[in-house]
Structure 1
């Protein structure tokens, strides 16, 4: 498994933000990680990427324990956080070249050009990031997440701020990337989940309340819509 999570918890005093969750995410499949606000989604993603230390339990990325082998584990991860931190004074192409240098990629110019085309940033590549719309900044964030061709992609609200046309493009890109990578995507847009996800986890109040394939989840809930299932399990 590209991602293996066992008994993962995060406590803040007496508050259990994430309460002993366990799951696996497989290569070549896109996992929708769903839950209401405050359920523990972003906290879980931050623990998986090593940005936040777990209180207990373990998470392995491509067989590497994120707590004990952080440097090796992070080499396999591409991460797009909910609020993408970017250097707004840098130009798009300059920023992506900078990220590529951090990863010590071989042919930086070619890789940057390929990724810019892949995420639809060609018309904006010579602009400062601070001049871009929210949707294009989101594309820059996605570009930096995939620049090193990671095995695992962890995407927290990747389509936030995109217009309907951009949504279609980015969904198609995520679905293509998911063919040979392990992808975890968090979103509140149920149509998006149904369009691109193979597997579903629903978390509520720090605990997993559903873990199944999209088809299996619907079958177990009288073929109701994903929105109805979500509301039922998180009410």
Structure 2
């Protein structure tokens, strides 16, 4: 298993944001991580990436414990947060070169060019990030997440702000990446889940309400509508 989560918990004051969840994710199957606002999705993702320390439980990525081996985890993980943090006063290519050098990559120029090509930023590479649309900024964030060819990708709302053409291109890229990487993506858009995901986890009030393949989930609830199943499990 590329990702193994065991009894992971995080509490803020009296509120349990994540309450003893366990799940696994494997290469070649994209996992959709769903839940209403405040359900614990982003908190879980931050714990998986090592940015947030759990109160209890463990998260293991490719054999590395996120708390005990955080440097090893950061080498094999790519993370796109929901609100992509970028240095907007930098140019696209300059920012990606900064990211490549931060990872200590060999042939950083080549890695930057490859990432730019993969996410469709060729025409924007010499522009300042500050002048880009939200959709193109999202692409810059995705480029920095994949520039070091990570084994694990964690994407929080990766298609937010994209127009229909950009959406189709980024979907295709995520599918390609998901063929040999372990990909977890969070989204509120059920069409994205249908288009991209093989497996699905629904989290509600910090606990897992569903964890299965999409087709199995539909059979279990005797419904072809993920929207309907989602509402049923999270109302």
- Could you tell me which residue of structure 2 aligns to residue 86 of structure 1? 86
Distance 1:65 1:212 in 2: 24
- Could you tell me which residue of structure 2 aligns to residue 11 of structure 1? 11
TM-aligned CA deviation for residue 13 of structure 1: 1.6
TM-score, with length taken from structure 1? 0.99
Unaligned 5+ segments in structure 2 are none
TM-aligned CA deviation for residue 223 of structure 1: 3.0
- Could you tell me which residue of structure 1 aligns to residue 220 of structure 2? 220
- Could you tell me which residue of structure 2 aligns to residue 205 of structure 1? 205
Alignment of 1:184-203 (within 5 A): 184-203=184-203
Distance 1:64 1:177 in 2: 21
TM-score, with length taken from structure 2? 0.99
Q: Which moved more, 1:175-184 or 1:221-230?
A: 221-230
Q: Conserved in 1, the CA contact under 8 Å of 2:223 and 2:229?
A: no
Alignment of 1:55-66 (within 5 A): 55-66=55-66
Distance 1:224 1:199 in 2: 15
Distance 1:219 1:195 in 2: 18
SS at match of 1:75: helix
Distance 1:177 1:136 in 2: 19
Alignment of 1:20-39 (within 5 A): 20-39=20-39
| Equivalences, count | 235
TM-aligned CA deviation for residue 110 of structure 1: 1.2
- Could you tell me which residue of structure 2 aligns to residue 68 of structure 1? 68
Q: Conserved in 1, the CA contact under 8 Å of 2:151 and 2:181?
A: yes
- Could you tell me which residue of structure 1 aligns to residue 50 of structure 2? 50
Distance 2:230 2:202 in 1: 7
Unaligned 5+ segments in structure 1 are none
CA RMSD of aligned residues (A): 0.6
Q: Conserved in 1, the CA contact under 8 Å of 2:18 and 2:206?
A: yes
TM-aligned CA deviation for residue 123 of structure 1: 0.6
- Could you tell me which residue of structure 2 aligns to residue 120 of structure 1? 120
- Could you tell me which residue of structure 2 aligns to residue 134 of structure 1? 134
TM-aligned CA deviation for residue 186 of structure 1: 0.1
